[in-house]
Amino acid sequence: MTLMEQAMQASAHIRERISCSPRLGIILGSGLGALAQRVVDPVAIAYDEIPHFHSSTVEGHAGRLVAGSLQGIDVVVLQGRLHYYEGLSMDQVTFPVRCLKMLGLDSLIVTNAAGSLNPDFQPGELMLIRDHIKMVTDSPLRGPNIDAFGPRFNDMSDPYTSEIRALAKSCGDELGIDLKEGVYCYMPGPSYETASEVRMLGLLGGDAVGMSTVPEVIVASHASMKVLGLSCITNMGTGLLDQPLHHEEIIKVGEQVRLRFITLLESIIRNWPAD
């Protein structure tokens, strides 16, 4: 069965289970899954109930799809994501995004927990992703192109849609939230970066680093979806502070910033541009 056939089968299964007509997808990263609890009239589907989906194995990722209404817009929330380091292929990691596109969604919000490469970006702050640097050689678009999604060679000049970034900054200003803006670096994980890697990424122009998001954004951009990327800075990169990194601490910071994160996202969704 081809990837396209798998996506059609999975999206058909989802469509049969939900009652809304979603146009916005939201992927929630480590410790940020609480937004799914705000969905009105929710229908929740575990990933392992959806054909060709894979279950998330990472703490802080519930591994379920929640469909319903949020701030007056029909949405599909992916409560937890899949990662390359879990042993999955890029096709498997980005499969949920292809299914969202098959469901007719034209917009995507991706969130993550990230380490700071910029001494001015502190744990607990939120960063709007302006661009990314992919430090993983594999690509979710490697192999035969799926013409129904997009062209063989897709443009990446504005992967994090400038119009939506402007909206997010406006919402942050209205709420009094100091929303940083920067470049996200994608590393394969699951090991945290070394101090030398953190210095290198900073020299390359990176402001934050994580182990997700970029494959999803590449697929969404290939499919001409509007994309907003938002990082929760949960820790300083290795070597910037004299202390080791622990996943439990990252989850804890995500929980601490929960209210500010939800308040900002709900404002952005409420003001999301019409088709």
The predicted structure's pLDDT at residue 161: 98
> Which position among 7, 10, 11, 30 bears the catalytic label?
30
54 is catalytic: no
Per residue in 166-197, pLDDT (tens digit) is 999 999 999 999 999 999 999 999 999 999 99
More confident residue, 53 or 248: 53
pTM over 0.85: yes
Residue of 112, 212, 221, 231 with catalytic role: 212
- Concerning whether 30 is annotated as a catalytic residue, the answer is yes
Query: Which among 11, 36, 52, 61 is annotated as catalytic?
Result: 61
Catalytic status, residue 13: no
CATH of the domain spanning 3-270, picked from 3.40.50.620, 3.40.50.1580, 3.40.605.10, 3.30.1130.10: 3.40.50.1580
Q: What is the pLDDT of residue 8?
A: 95
227-to-69, 81, 117, 159 alpha-carbon distances in Å: 19, 16, 23, 7
Is residue 38 pLDDT above 80, yes or no? yes
Tell me, yes or no, if 212 is annotated catalytic: yes
Predicted pLDDT at 60: 57
Annotated active-site residue 170? The verdict is no
Q: What is the mean pLDDT of residues 125-147?
A: 96
Give me the pLDDT at residue 239, please: 75
Condensed to tens digits (0 to 9), the pLDDT of residues 233-242 reads 998 888 787 6
Please say if 200 is a catalytic residue. no
How many whole angstroms separate alpha carbon 251 and alpha carbon 247? 6
Reply yes or no on whether the pLDDT at 53 is more than 90. Answer: yes
113 is catalytic: yes
- pLDDT confidence tier of residue 3, bands split at 50, 70 and 90: very high
